[in-house]
Structure 1
């Protein structure tokens, strides 16, 4: 995908507008395969039609990379077939855990320790072997911090290096965590290995208080988050950027207008040549 590509999350409530969208509204789509594997009927047909016309990236919800629970090999085989069927160029998962002898239905932070780096990296390598491809992991938002023997930044860098995987950089999560845990978001960006960034996420959040932000994906992107996206592009160059909106979904035209804002930020950092991201 071009580094200036903008994308939108594929939600069932948006299927009609996405199918009817004129060229130029968006450049790619992202779906959670957990919600689409095995889906048939009109929804399955709509997904196949959209993925035939637009690049489709996938963002997993349930692998629970930080857990000690064994992976479901049957699910991994189904996931690989799904990624192959839809020619998915990038699959990502959250750098978190969401299971403990059963699904917990939340994305929980992993302790920031050297032992956890080794554990999670080993599990990522298992997933990469099972899927036959490198994956990207996403920095999550978190509120109650587990045991931290190292900073979040060092933990992420360690996992990326040990697992030899890529990073899905969620810019809104960097902003939210920086406010909630009182660190400098620019310094956080400075420390990241830019060469491993596959693409960006950007989303809205809820201002609970001046010092407490909640990552909701249920509102428009805040100006401060757009500014941080601009900072990220200045450091790393533009990357394909996905607008997340999971709740309080507005009329489709409002999402297109917000995508245009994202496109303007990326275009402001696009070099004259070499605009294509690495495969």
Structure 2
């Protein structure tokens, strides 16, 4: 099973120097790399020549009402063609309204939203010539609507005929913050549509609220939930996300190794 790590500029040199056996693929946000030249562009080319590259978008605003940015999607398709990228994912959210909002905002869990978002996903897939995997996001205000989150996600996947990027940390954070059963959420997901997993760290507020930060080590309950996902859904490529407070590479390597052990059924959180 493939293990990956998110590509950040702060990690670029480290990843190029790392043992090739530590990770099997890297994931980047195409918005941050399209048109990048110079030293960083050369480093990206070198890394992409060594390891498969996945693309994880930040700005499509799949749930928004602004028209899809087709010229941007053309650039994304060209970037993926250049680097031989097959896997393209985006967030099941909206993030734009007459401009970029720089946040991933939740959608109402309604049939109308399902139809709206599914239509936009189908147009994205046509534009880039690839299936899209949508990611379940973390959210902090209770979502309103006609269905629960798991039913909403499944309806989107079916209506759009797309795949799922299952973020295990987001499941844990949402379950804790909104009072639902994380294991039941995993069990409800259609295994045949789960393309890959994300795992990341979060922050525990003193009042119990959990904030998805990608700025800390993965916590033991999230590791346990990832192991549950491997048992209930099956092993899939799994990506370690870290966006801030970067530790020494040895700590990241230890987390990558734990992912491999959990997938093989031979590991457990400390």
Counterpart secondary structure, 2:158: helix
Residue in structure 2 matching 1:187, options 184, 187, 191: 184
Partners of 2:60 and 2:90 within 8 A in 1: yes
Residue in structure 2 matching 1:128, options 125, 128, 139: 125
Residue in structure 1 matching 2:102, options 75, 100, 105: 105
Provide the residue aligned with 2:36 in structure 1.
39
What is the Cα deviation at residue 103 of structure 1?
A: 0.5
What is the Cα deviation at residue 238 of structure 1?
A: 0.6
Partners of 1:109 and 1:145 within 8 A in 2: no
Backbone CA RMSD of aligned residues: 1.0
Counterpart secondary structure, 2:262: helix
Structure 2: which 5+ runs fail to align? none
> How far apart, in 2, do the equivalents of 1:87 and 1:145 lie?
40
What is the number of residues matched between the two proteins?
Answer: 266
Q: Is 1:148 aligned with 2:145?
A: yes
* Further displaced range: 143-152 or 21-30: 143-152
> How far apart, in 2, do the equivalents of 1:227 and 1:100 lie?
38
Residue in structure 2 matching 1:70, options 67, 86, 98: 67
Structure 1: which 5+ runs fail to align? 270-279
Q: Is 1:20 aligned with 2:2?
A: no
> How far apart, in 1, do the equivalents of 2:55 and 2:173 lie?
23
Say which structure, 1 or 2, has more relative contact order (CA 8 Å, 6+ apart).
1
Q: Is 1:200 aligned with 2:197?
A: yes
Counterpart secondary structure, 1:232: helix
> How far apart, in 1, do the equivalents of 2:229 and 2:207 lie?
23
Partners of 2:105 and 2:139 within 8 A in 1: yes
Report runs of 4+ in structure 1 exceeding 6 Å deviation. Answer: none
Q: Is 1:52 aligned with 2:49?
A: yes
Q: Is 1:214 aligned with 2:211?
A: yes
What is the Cα deviation at residue 165 of structure 1?
A: 0.2
